[in-house]
Amino acid sequence: MTMVNEIAVAETPGAATRHGGDPDWWRGAVIYQIYPRSFQDSNDDGIGDLKGITQRLPYIAELGVDAIWVSPFFKSPMLDFGYDVSDYRDVDPIFGTLADFDAMIAEAHRLGLKVMIDLVISHTSEQHPWFVESRSSRNNLRDDWYVWADPREDGTVPNNWLSVFGGSAWAWDTTRCQYYLHNFLASQPDLNLHNVEVQDALLEEVRFWLERGVDGFRLDTINFYFHSAGLENNPPLAHELRNDSIAPAVNPYNFQDHVYDKNQPENINFLKRFRALLDEYPDCAAVGEVGDAQRGLEIVAQYTSGNDKIHMCYAFEFLSPEPLTPQRVRDVQEKFGETAPQGWSCWAFSNHDVMRHASRWADHVADREAYLKMTTMLILTLRGSVCLYQGEELGLSEAVLDFEDLQDPYGKRFWPNFRGRDGCRTPMAWSHNEPNAGFSNEAPWLPVPPEHLHLSVNSQEGQSDSLLEFYREFLQFRRLHPEFIKGSIRFHEGSDAVVVFEREHDGSSILVAINMGAESTEVPIPKNEYQEIGPFGAGCRFTNGKLELPPFGGWLAKIR
């Protein structure tokens, strides 16, 4: 048996093209999520914008990802910061113009980056012209484009459905004298996708952006598209089954089993229509967000099975507060493999809706940076595509904000037991020695936490042992090994602290062993000859079928 270190430099990817590229590029892709308000401000109004994104695209390309996902930039009253769309075909002025978008996508493609945009089609803003017309009377061309229902005889809401953001999911309209459904804010009425005209209209909005050159979409709340037309009451959820992966524990949304207000079978046919449209545009793909605490992986399996629905989805298994352990990693991966053997998932540890994983899991660990390098290695070697959230490559922590600084209506509603989503949305830390960490020359829409300054990009660049350089190095390394991108996964016996699995593609296999614990440990390794690969196994020793791993250490080896 011989062991050598394999260190090579990946070639810079060529410019992406709409036609003639790899239609399977999304399978195993690493996607970098950009929250536009907080990425880079180019005009000193304290809010990030499209020109700011364009300015920073070289940084993202150098990081080594395959694509960017840009959270909503559409015209909006911004009551939910862009997830309340009032015009699907225009850019909100705070972010710039359509010309700015075109320039951004052109630069991304020049740098070899695919561009996915956040599509919010389960609901609109109440200011959208469709809803303005729909609520104007009970008899107009769009009178049933949203979910309207009469009150019960005593004037109360039609059923017991709850909003994710708290309270009833029904709001009263004084013109129609009916209730309308809103799964989120009352200013975000739900579209009625049971109406085929609504589906047709939404697909035309999708086509608009496909024609503009986007490479795909992130589909917000994909399992909320349809409700049960019978408006049945949701049953209560047993106390032992309640968890706070979708809503905070203080929110009664967790008290129901949401079998009628989402997750409806009619969604399958709509997703097939959506996929058929995307298939008209080679190399385009979509990733769906599945928000369900009880059956998320099963829904992901339904939506990604075959080649006629969504390319990939993500659920909240690794976005929940639940601790990350070897057994949990194995359980989630194997359950998905069993329920969706032909499906494809997209994993994330952080995003714009949940506490940053650096704070969920690492802030209590003595060697915080070693832990975050370990989680980086883990997510980039599991089977599936990957979403990285801006700033996680720096190890940014969740910001603790004063109530006076909060912008998120969700946080204001449940303060102080739930502080909302602003803590993960603070501005990107570019520089430790510029105003507002290099994000803006003016006061930003959310304050920059002082503790983020020493984690800034310019504090970590060129530092060989920094977390940022580890991300760059591992992403480069990952590109060289298709086993990690498109390969199968098979788990071996590890331990309470160590997860061990094998990635195989086209006859080539790589063994991965990761110590997720804070103590050195030893595990048996299947009898084979191994060739250690990558510069990541410092402190690891393999002798006589046993592997010794340092705290938070990882070992990767080709199986000969």
413: enclosing H helix or E strand: helix 409-414
Express each pLDDT in 486-516 by its tens digit.
999 999 999 999 999 999 999 999 999 999 9
Residue 170 lies in a domain: no
Domain identity same for 448 and 493: no
Domain identity same for 365 and 426: yes
Range of the domain at 541: 488-559
Express each pLDDT in 453-499 by its tens digit.
999 999 999 999 999 999 999 999 999 999 999 999 999 999 999 99
Number of domains in the chain: 2
For the chain, how many helices (H) and strands (E)? 13, 21
* DSSP class per residue in 15-70: PP-SSSS-TTTTTT-EEEEE-GGGT--SSSSSS--HHHHHHHHHHHHHHT-SEEEE
What distance lies between CA 100 and its chain's CA centroid?
24
Domain identity same for 431 and 494: no
Residue 61 lies in a domain: yes
Residue 326 lies in a domain: yes
Domain identity same for 520 and 437: no
Nearest to 55 by CA among 431, 389, 437, 439: 439
Tokens for 232, please give them: 């049945």
Nearest to 446 by CA among 432, 426, 428, 430: 426
Q: Are strands 488-492 and 541-543 parallel, antiparallel or unpaired?
A: unpaired
Domain identity same for 500 and 466: no
Domain identity same for 204 and 276: yes
Cα pseudo-dihedral 29, 35, 39, 45, rounded to 10 = 160
| CA distances in angstroms from 217 to 220, 222, 285, 537, listed in the order given | 9, 11, 7, 37
- The pLDDT confidence band at residue 528, using thresholds 50, 70 and 90, is confident
Express each pLDDT in 151-175 by its tens digit.
999 999 999 999 999 999 999 999 9
Express each pLDDT in 316-361 by its tens digit.
999 998 999 999 999 999 999 998 898 999 999 999 999 999 999 9
- The pLDDT confidence band at residue 13, using thresholds 50, 70 and 90, is very low
Domain identity same for 507 and 553: yes
Instruction: Give the CATH number for residue 272.
Output: 3.20.20.80
Report which residue type is found at 514: I
Which residues, at least 6 apart from 434, have a Cβ–Cβ distance to it below 8 Å? none
| Residue 239 in this model has a pLDDT that exceeds 50 | yes
Instruction: Give the CATH number for residue 537.
Output: 2.60.40.1180
Residue 518 lies in a domain: yes
- The pLDDT confidence band at residue 2, using thresholds 50, 70 and 90, is very low
Domain identity same for 441 and 500: no
Domain identity same for 437 and 520: no
Catalytic residues: 220, 280
Q: Which alpha helices (H) appear in 242-325, and where do they start and end?
A: 267-278, 296-304
Q: Give the integer Cα–Cα distance in Å for 544 and 442.
A: 61
| Residue 373 in this model has a pLDDT that exceeds 70 | yes
Instruction: Work out the percent of the chain whose per-residue pLDDT is above 90.
Output: 90
Domain identity same for 451 and 524: no
Residues 437 and 448: beta-carbon distance below 8 Å: yes
Model pTM above 0.85: yes
pLDDT reported for residue 246: 85
Last residue in a domain, options 437, 459, 479: 479
Last residue in a domain, options 450, 479, 508: 479
Last residue in a domain, options 424, 452, 479: 479
Q: Position of tokens 């059923």?
A: 159
Which residues, at least 6 apart from 248, have a Cβ–Cβ distance to it below 8 Å? 414, 417, 418
DSSP-assigned letter for residue 207: H
| Residue 309 in this model has a pLDDT that exceeds 50 | yes
The pairs formed by 451-456 with CB atoms below 8 angstroms and a separation of 24 or more are 451/397, 452/394, 452/396, 452/397, 452/399, 452/426, 453/429, 455/394, 455/395, 455/396, 455/429, 456/394, 456/429, 456/430, 456/431, 456/432
| Residue 15 in this model has a pLDDT that exceeds 80 | no
Domain identity same for 340 and 315: yes
3-state secondary structure of 502: strand
